[in-house]
Amino acid sequence: MRVLVADDSRTIRGIAREILQRMGYAQVAEASDGREALGRFGSFQPQMLILERDLPEIDGISIVRALRSQGRSLPIVMLSDRAHRDQVMEALNAGVSSYVMKPFTPAVLTERIREAVSRSRAA
């Protein structure tokens, strides 16, 4: 499975890449902003997306809405430092499969990725 990790923090992208590789996902691409993330869809064609809510250029919620409006059903895990219930609900209503609060542990991100993949397969 090809996975795209979009976050403006190089450190977060590196941590996510390492976790994904330990989970067996060998094809991982990265993007540092929303515009770059959308650009990667044409060439890389990810099958799962891990993205930050507050990406520069184009925010994560807008990306999720755009992908869902195109009928893309890939698993999407959203990363955020926003814990307010309304913000989490907005993300879930936009179509994210799972929501992870920063900072996160490798165990939490691993579990959320598994949940997102399971939900996607069940749909």
CATH T-level assignment (fold) for domain 2-122: Rossmann fold (3.40.50)
Nearest to 49 by CA among 65, 66, 28, 33: 28
Q: Roughly how many angstroms between the first and final C-alpha of the chain, as a whole number?
A: 17
pLDDT score recorded for residue 12? 97
Read off the pLDDT of residues 14-48 as tens digits, 9 standing for 90 and up: 999 999 999 999 999 999 999 999 999 889 999 99
Nearest to 78 by CA among 120, 45, 48: 48
Q: Is residue 119 predicted with pLDDT exceeding 80?
A: yes
Q: Is residue 83 predicted with pLDDT exceeding 90?
A: no
Beta bridge partners of 27: 2
Read off the pLDDT of residues 55-68 as tens digits, 9 standing for 90 and up: 999 999 999 999 99
Give the count of beta carbons closer than 10 Å to the beta carbon of residue 42: 7
pLDDT score recorded for residue 122? 77
